[in-house]
Homo-oligomer: A and B are copies of this chain.
């Protein structure tokens, strides 16, 4: 896969189970600089705290699972640079400071703090008599986080691949792919698995205004993997459905309530309505961690309003005049009754969601 977030051991052994071409310099976090896509594929190798924070802040790495992996590996990379004879107490103290600073890079990204807390807790639990050095344990835990994310992507992909049949047209929105995770992605994972099985299909990738993740990232990663992809503007989705070219809508989610209402990138709700009108199944792919059973339904999910300039300008051109206002919600909530099923690491979950989602999480 893409090595969106990866690592290479000092002896040159790849630690990423499914990696194909890890060539990074030893001992550093390696990420794709997504801000340069789709024009240029550049890898950044980072082990300085400020550079890692900057990379997360400016969206060189984005997507909640990928941010979590990058933060954990970034923490390990920075702490590897502490002198080898650093006493354990000093190591722990400097590690905590580093983790606290990393956590500020994107305060709302749940996976960021979750991954950092997990790494810190692991070190705090280490017996002082341990023969392993703390920095190796820290790296091991960060690599566990990456490996688990890879595994989640793979199982989602395997379950979802059942839905992909030869000749199918699949419409997706935004980027819930390899660039957003440690591996295959969530919504795109079933496509990668089906592609590996030799199934031929066509993907329609909504460009996803205003930040164009679908055009810049999804079309790029699918084309690179040899999957047939057509980039369309968001307002063309209804037309390709009407033409009979779409048999499945497949998207990710940012948060899913106990009743199955799902928050995802703005435009998802409209797609679900259009899919329902055209009698096209609409599935959401997400790991167990995206389900938030503390929320009864989607009405409690806040809709973040983002900066007007994301819409007002594109590249070097002004698209909306200064005199006009801009409305820029980042997410919408799709009601559960428009969702045909959830593709999770525990299998595909269908109605009634209230009952079936809970029993899934109880088996995690």
**Could you tell me which A residues sit within 8 Å of B by CB distance?**
37-39, 173, 204-210, 212, 215-216, 219-220, 222-224, 228-240, 242, 266-267, 269-270, 273-274, 276-277, 303, 311-312, 314-329, 332
Contacts and interface: CB of A to CB of B under 8 A. Distances in A.
B239 A320 contact: no
A224 B322 CA distance: 10
Most buried by B among A173, A219, A327, A329: A327
A169 to B, nearest CB: 11
B231 A208 contact: no
Nearest to A324: B219
A207 B320 contact: yes
Given A38-B318, A212-B319, A270-B274, A332 B219 contact: no
A321 B214 CA distance: 11
A318 B236 CA distance: 19
A270 B303 CA distance: 23
Contacts of A222: 324
A8 to B, nearest CB: 27
Contacts of A312: 231
A326 to B, nearest CB: 5
Nearest to A319: B215
Contacts of A318: 38-39
A99 to B, nearest CB: 35
A113 B332 CA distance: 46
Contacts of A235: 173, 206, 208-209, 234-235, 266-267, 270
Contacts of A273: 238, 273-274, 277
Nearest to A267: B235
B215 A327 contact: no
A324 B234 contact: no
Given A209-B209, A238-B332, A332-B242, A219 B315 contact: no
A220 B323 contact: yes
Contacts of A237: 270
Given A215-B319, A238-B273, 14 more contacts: A38-B318, A38-B320, A204-B327, A205-B324, A209-B233, A209-B235, A222-B324, A228-B325, A231-B325, A231-B326, A234-B234, A235-B266, A242-B269, A277-B277
Top 6 closest A-B pairs, CB basis? A315-B315, A235-B267, A238-B270, A38-B321, A219-B324, A315-B317
Nearest to A226: B323
Given A223-B323, A270-B274, A274-B274, A314 B314 contact: yes
Given A269-B239, A329-B236, A332-B242, A224 B314 contact: no
B316 A270 contact: no
A352 B208 CA distance: 38
Contacts of A38: 318-322, 324
9 contacts: A209-B209, A209-B233, A210-B233, A229-B324, A236-B327, A270-B270, A277-B277, A314-B315, A315-B316
Contacts of A317: 314-316
Contacts of A207: 209, 311, 319-320
A206 B209 CA distance: 11
